């Protein structure tokens, strides 16, 4: 169970996934879209320069690429360098 705040929607969403299933399945497009909707706006970008607003507003164009990327990372166990 993860939590940094009892009212964190993202923590609650992740915690609702059954434990026996969370590490042994592919990530769905709906899961990615649900998490993107929970990302807060108005935050500064990280070292990659990506803003949450970019994901929120570009999700229609990016979703297939994000889906392939995240599942490829899970399948191969290799995280791309920045």
pLDDT tens digits along 5-59: 666 776 777 677 666 666 668 899 999 999 999 888 888 888 888 899 999 999 9
Strand boundaries in 1-82, DSSP class E: none
Q: Which residues neighbour 66 within 8 Å (Cβ) at sequence distance 6 or greater?
A: 32
Distance CA(3)–CA(11), nearest Å, equals 6
pLDDT of residue 21: 62
Distance CA(75)–CA(78), nearest Å, equals 8
pTM comes to 0.68
Distance CA(34)–CA(13), nearest Å, equals 9
């Amino acid at each position: 169970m993860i939590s940094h705040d009892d009212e964190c929607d993202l923590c609650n969403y992740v915690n609702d996934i059954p434990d026996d299933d969370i590490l042994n399945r592919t990530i769905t497009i709906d899961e990615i879209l649900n998490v993107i909707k929970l990302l807060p706006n108005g935050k500064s970008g990280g070292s990659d320069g990506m803003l949450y607003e970019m994901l929120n507003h570009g999700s229609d164009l990016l979703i297939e690429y994000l889906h392939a990327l995240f599942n490829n990372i899970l399948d191969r166990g290799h995280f791309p360098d920045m």
